[in-house]
Amino acid sequence: KAGVTQTPRYLIKTRGQQVTLSCSPISGHRSVSWYQQTPGQGLQFLFEYFSETQRNKGNFPGRFSGRQFSNSRSEMNVSTLELGDSALYLCASRMAANTGELFFGEGSRLTVL
Amino acid sequence: AQSVTQLGSHVSVSEGALVLLRCNYSSSVPPYLFWYVQYPNQGLQLLLKYTTGATLVKGINGFEAEFKKSETSFHLTKPSAHMSDAAEYFCAVTPGRNNNDMRFGAGTRLTVKP
């Protein structure tokens, strides 16, 4: 059974640009969550999607957005990038929202110059 | 809201020595507790979890943790460290079964010396 797949694994952007990250969950998993990991703030919850609907949202500005497609694949977008957005963005999937073990992908490492 | 505190951002042990990584939690409802491991440039992998029932939980790679309600702790142990255990370890808590609000600790980086 394939794991959670995140693309791209590494990317470099400049301030002011926007970025889109993709996450394909484990087959059969309908919930996808996104986390930001930085050395200073640790792991912070961004949002969770289930059945194409955002079910829960962390405390991030509106520049951070996401969506989920009918096949459960998810994308997150960050607009008007800032230096502080440099981080490892982790996607995690599970069978259903609100319950069950989270399975993490390897992450997308974003560097903002 | 629930939270976890991991005591010690860095722990160094010798190969073959006991590994003890400390985690204390705060939760207003009976918690579910988790330990995850992260190897360099990889995502998080679940080591073990406590939900209900037996308070001593065994996980993968020889790790175990004990839920102690009176001490609000969920420390991770392994009797004998191996070089391959070097990684970052995260403790996490959710408010019971409704774990759409998983809170992670700051992490503990484990170094294993030969």
Q: B42 Cβ partners below 8 Å, 6+ apart?
A: A106, A107
Query: Is the pLDDT assigned to residue B99 strictly greater than 80?
Result: no
The answer to whether the CB atoms of A56 and B90 lie below 8 A apart is: no
Taking residues A59-66, report their average pLDDT.
96
Residue listed under structure tokens 């996450």? A23
User: Which pLDDT score, from 0 to 100, does residue B101 have?
Assistant: 72
Query: Is the pLDDT assigned to residue B86 strictly greater than 80?
Result: yes
Q: Is the C-alpha dihedral spanning B15, B17, B23, B29 positive or negative?
A: positive
- Whole-angstrom Cα Rg for chain B: 13
User: Which pLDDT score, from 0 to 100, does residue A97 have?
Assistant: 66
Q: A52 Cβ partners below 8 Å, 6+ apart?
A: A67, A68, A69, A70
The answer to whether the CB atoms of A45 and B106 lie below 8 A apart is: no
Residue A113 DSSP SS3: coil
Tokens representing A46?
């961004």
User: Which pLDDT score, from 0 to 100, does residue A7 have?
Assistant: 97
Q: CA of B91: which chain A residue's CA is closest?
A: A43
Q: Is the C-alpha dihedral spanning B90, B5, A92, A61 positive or negative?
A: negative
Q: CA of B106: which chain A residue's CA is closest?
A: A42
Measured distance CA(A101)–CA(B112) in Å, rounded: 28
Tokens representing B97?
């079964």
Distance from CA of B93 to the nearest CA of A (A): 12
User: Which pLDDT score, from 0 to 100, does residue B1 have?
Assistant: 74
Query: Is the pLDDT assigned to residue B100 strictly greater than 70?
Result: no
Query: Is the pLDDT assigned to residue A39 strictly greater than 90?
Result: no
Q: CA of B6: which chain A residue's CA is closest?
A: A42
Tokens representing A26?
């484990």
Measured distance CA(B107)–CA(B88) in Å, rounded: 6
Given pLDDT bands bounded at 50, 70 and 90, which one contains residue B18? Answer: very high
Measured distance CA(A53)–CA(A44) in Å, rounded: 20
Which of A42, A97, A107 lies closest to B43 in CB terms?
Answer: A107
Average pLDDT, chain A: 93
